[in-house]
Amino acid sequence: MSFDDVVELAKRRGFFWPSFMIYGGSSGFYDYGPLGTLLKDNIINIWKREYAKEGAIFLDTPVISPADVFRASGHLEKFSDIAVKCSKCGTPYKLESLLKSLGITEIVKTVDEAAAILEKYDVKCPKCGEKLRNPYDFNLMFRIGTNDLYLRPETAQGIFINFKNLYNYARNAMPIIVCQVGKGFRNEISPRQALIRMREFSQAEVEVFYLDGDDFPVPESHADLSLLRNTGELQKVKVSEAFKSGIIGNRVMAYFLNKTYDILLKLGFKQDRIRAREHDPGERAHYSSETWDFEYLMDGDWIEIVGVSDRGTYDLGRHQQFSGENFQIDGKTPKVIEPSYGVDRILLTVMDSSYYKRDNGYKVLRLDPHIAPVHLAVFPLQKKDDLDRIARGLFDRIRSVDPFVFYDDGGNIGRRYARQDEIGTPYCVTIDYQSKEDGTVTIRERDSTSQVRISMDELIERAKYFPDSFTELFKH
């Protein structure tokens, strides 16, 4: 199972590990280590740049909100999962995941339907075998103390309630694309699979505000996408074609499905392990009239990593109603399309998708160089004969133009390559005896393991333009 291997690697090499372990841990919380912190930043930066290219603006709002916000948004009333707790061993289950793990695909919307399904399939506790009964609604919101304050379950509401400020900022021009990246909190019934279902997690959310008639181009698609419709029909098509043929009815939805797919491919995901799946009406969140999840195939299971929803006028409409504020433009409430990215899930699945073992059993993360935490590693071939002094000097020079460089002179050169391969470092630079003679070094590329020799001066010039200047070197 690559998932187990990746989680083991992540912990051992400093990407992420469970939080609070010296006190026994607490499920659903993870720390990012030194490499994970950099990887997460790099993923967020690509996302940010891609939306900045679309003219997006950015926002940063509190993680704690008064209950009024979530009363209006519908989260206090409707943001719940159906749960069931074993009466014998006390294990709580999220019903949807439990049924999925048992191969039961029926969609359950109410507690009564859940009770009927448990009865129909005679569902037993996977831990102790006791018959499961009495399902109940479990609200996922975290309340803070006795105050009427809550931790936000999504970053989106901070954007909606600021619509007027944002509209003024944008000098009354529509459409407006607003992005926020930050923490979300959900009291998940059964946190699991490391970063996949956490109680505190990071979202990178985009709210696209538009009015009917706003000019959105037909998306320019370069790659086929597997689209699984809620009718069960699976098609491999370009999003642009899916829009033209009416599979995706809304032009703004089509544009941002295409944008999301582009970003996932840019992050290094492979086409054959990504699909977009349309929600069944009963599965959609309370604010959505259409949702497509981008899912990643991990160990035979499809995992949601980004949700793209048509929130229509739901949120602005509710906040107008509850606050008395007027968000209308020329008498119309703007509509919203929302691509919502789960940063932690993307980080874990991008590691999973780039993980493989060489024939000799060594582990490699084939991370795209744009997101690799360490860009270059510098090694002296030997820790003697002045090679280490020259390597240190080169390391300092590189660091002045690209600080994401690592120096290693421990152990044999093969082990040093292997250590960098495992954390996804795309290029390793070695100073050898020839370097002393002519000022050249070898650069070894992680995936092909092929090597080229260039001068140290050229290396410094190229380091200024990482990674394209290095990709270019190994093109042929």
Contacts to ligand GAP by CB under 6 A: 154, 156, 186, 188, 197-198, 201, 203, 205, 304-307, 338, 340, 342, 344-345
Nearer to ligand GAP by Cβ, of 46 and 452: the residue is 46
Q: Looking at this protein, which amino acid is placed at residue 83?
A: A
- Give the residue closest to ligand GAP by C-beta: 342
Residues 6+ apart with CB under 8 A from 130: 86, 87, 88, 89, 124
β-strands 176-185, 57-58: how paired?
parallel
Nearest approach in angstroms of CB 380 to ligand GAP is: 42
Nearest approach in angstroms of CB 188 to ligand GAP is: 5
Nearest approach in angstroms of CB 80 to ligand GAP is: 12
H-state helical runs in 424-474: 433-438, 456-463, 468-473
300: buried, middle or exposed (CB in 10 Å: 19+, 13-18, 0-12)?
A: exposed
Nearest approach in angstroms of CB 283 to ligand GAP is: 11
Which helix (H) or strand (E) element contains residue 387?
Answer: helix 387-401
Nearest approach in angstroms of CB 156 to ligand GAP is: 4
Nearer to ligand GAP by Cβ, of 207 and 408: the residue is 207
Nearest approach in angstroms of CB 204 to ligand GAP is: 9
How many helices (DSSP H) and strands (DSSP E) are in the chain?
17, 24
Nearer to ligand GAP by Cβ, of 205 and 432: the residue is 205
Torsion from C-alpha of 175, 181, 186, 192, nearest 10 degrees: 120
Nearer to ligand GAP by Cβ, of 200 and 421: the residue is 200
Nearer to ligand GAP by Cβ, of 188 and 408: the residue is 188
Nearer to ligand GAP by Cβ, of 205 and 310: the residue is 205
Nearest approach in angstroms of CB 30 to ligand GAP is: 10
Nearer to ligand GAP by Cβ, of 340 and 420: the residue is 340
Nearer to ligand GAP by Cβ, of 295 and 409: the residue is 295
- Nearest of 446, 34, 422, 424 to residue 267 by alpha carbon: 424
Nearer to ligand GAP by Cβ, of 316 and 405: the residue is 316
Strand partners of residue 208: 177, 337
Nearer to ligand GAP by Cβ, of 16 and 427: the residue is 16
Q: Which residues of 210-226 are buried (b: 16+ CB within 10 A; e: fewer)?
A: beeeeebeebebeeebb
Nearest approach in angstroms of CB 281 to ligand GAP is: 16
Q: Looking at this protein, which amino acid is placed at residue 396?
A: D
CA 214 to chain centre: 29
Cα separation, 253 vs 247, whole angstroms? 11
Three-class DSSP category at 282:
helix
Cα separation, 200 vs 64, whole angstroms? 13
φ/ψ of 26, rounded to 5, equals -150, 120
Nearest approach in angstroms of CB 414 to ligand GAP is: 38
- Nearest of 21, 6, 46, 27 to residue 368 by alpha carbon: 46
Nearest approach in angstroms of CB 46 to ligand GAP is: 16
